[in-house]
Structure 1
Amino acid sequence: MTATIENFNDISHLLRKNANLLIAEDNKDIREQLHRSVDKFFPNVFVASDGQEALEIFLKEDINILLTDINMPRMNGVELVENILSVNEDIFIIVLSAHNNSDMLIELINLGVNNFLPKPIDMAMMAKFFYNACLQLKSTLKLKDDTLTLEELEKLEELQILLEDELIDYSRIDSLGSVQ
């Protein structure tokens, strides 16, 4: 399926409460264009003008998807990615760059970046990446829900065993009382 800005909306409604996007871009015009382009698809879009500001926002908010430039003041995109992944390995990361430095791209891929988006930005490609990010987020959330359900079942089984043990003990006490 080819994702476009229009059909991205098909799954964005599933994530209204869960998908939070952080855009880290030092170029004000690009940052504002990106924000306007994606604001209608995500319940919360946070913007930062450099890597340090992005990290501060990330640490305060529940961010699921990061769209970051590489060359930024105070903290570059590579440092930002390293810091964020040390806190949350599940975040979906899309890197923007006007430069095609293959060594840097390899480093980012090895760090765990999901996608690379060259500048100038191809909006259809960006929509496809967001679509993939939302599918991954949906799967991650379902897995977490399933894990919680499994943990709840395990606790219920433990409780059932305890209750059965208590019932056996009560039956023994009751049988001792009826013997007397």
Structure 2
Amino acid sequence: MALINDVSVLIAEDEKELREHVVEYLQLFFETVYTASNGEEAIDVYLKKRPDIIITDINMPELDGLSMIERIRKVDSTTKIVVLSAHSEQEKLFKAIKLNLAEYLTKPVESARLKELLLKLADEIRNRDHILRLGSGYSFNTMSGVLMLHNENIKLTPREVRLLELLCKSANHSVSNEKIFRVLYEEQADKKFSVNAITSLIKRIRTKLPENCISNHYGMGYMIHTET
């Protein structure tokens, strides 16, 4: 498989030999892998590099793994964090649960299990970055072109998908009628510009979206509104 170049990983582990072994394994799948030998160093790398996934041990010098995660969670609730630990004590598990971890794995961890988890997290990160919330439970994935209402897939025509992709690329900003027409009918270069064609498509797609999701800005075009 090709190296994943749009998701980065930080491994925090104080045992040098184990850290190097994990890094070597991670580099089979991820192009960018950062390292830290203790919690303080991990915080420093996190602040400078903002990795998408953090893998950390619990017992480390200077700052332990759970304390390091607590500090990160004060400013960041979304970064995927995986704990690898030789400990399974209830006290540590209960503390970890409150830190919104992606996973808590007890050493030794099988390579296949770690690979499966990390690839799953990478997919979640990619999808998260491409999903726009349209309100009232609606969302649109700009990568897959899928419109969802909660867990239900709403059927779209190819032209409706193209329109939503265009509007979502400029979410909360107007897109001119001319640009909309040009994108929708790019394969028909000789087709004469028609506002009615755009109006008809907008009217149809509005029935599949929450009320007032798409607004008409007179003389400027159309705008899709997303949740912030």
TM-score normalised by the shorter chain: which range applies? 0.7 to 0.9
Distance (Å, rounded) in 1 between the aligned partners of 2:37 and 2:85: 15
Distance (Å, rounded) in 1 between the aligned partners of 2:24 and 2:76: 26
Report the structure number with the largest CA radius of gyration: 1
Query: Residue 154 of structure 1 aligns to which amino acid in structure 2?
Result: N
Structure 1 stretches (4+) deviating beyond 3 angstroms?
A: 144-151, 157-160
- Report the TM-score when normalising by structure 1: 0.74
- The alignment yields a C-alpha RMSD, in angstroms, of 2.6
How many positions carry a matched residue from both structures?
152
Match of 2:92 in 1: 104
- Report the TM-score when normalising by structure 2: 0.60
Tell me the secondary structure at the aligned position of residue 99 of structure 1: coil
Structure showing the higher strand proportion among its residues: 2
Distance (Å, rounded) in 2 between the aligned partners of 1:149 and 1:74: 49
Match of 1:176 in 2: none
Residues 24 and 54, structure 1, Cα contact 8 Å, conserved in 2: yes
Distance (Å, rounded) in 2 between the aligned partners of 1:86 and 1:148: 36
Structure showing the higher helix proportion among its residues: 1
Distance (Å, rounded) in 1 between the aligned partners of 2:38 and 2:218: 55
Match of 2:174 in 1: 156
Distance 1:55 1:149, change over 3 A: farther
Q: Structure 1 residues 137-146 or 90-99, which shifts more? A: 137-146
Ranked by relative contact order (alpha carbons within 8 Å, sequence separation 6 or more), the top structure is: 1
CA deviations 1:67-89 (Å, max 9, x no partner) are 00001011111111112222322
Residues 94 and 129, structure 1, Cα contact 8 Å, conserved in 2: no
Match of 1:40 in 2: 28
* Residues 21-60 of structure 1 aligned to structure 2 (within 5 Å): 21-60=9-48
Residues 70 and 97, structure 1, Cα contact 8 Å, conserved in 2: yes
Gap runs ≥5 in structure 2: 133-140, 143-164, 177-214, 221-228
CA deviations 1:13-69 (Å, max 9, x no partner) are 5x41x2110000001111000000111211210010001000100000030000000
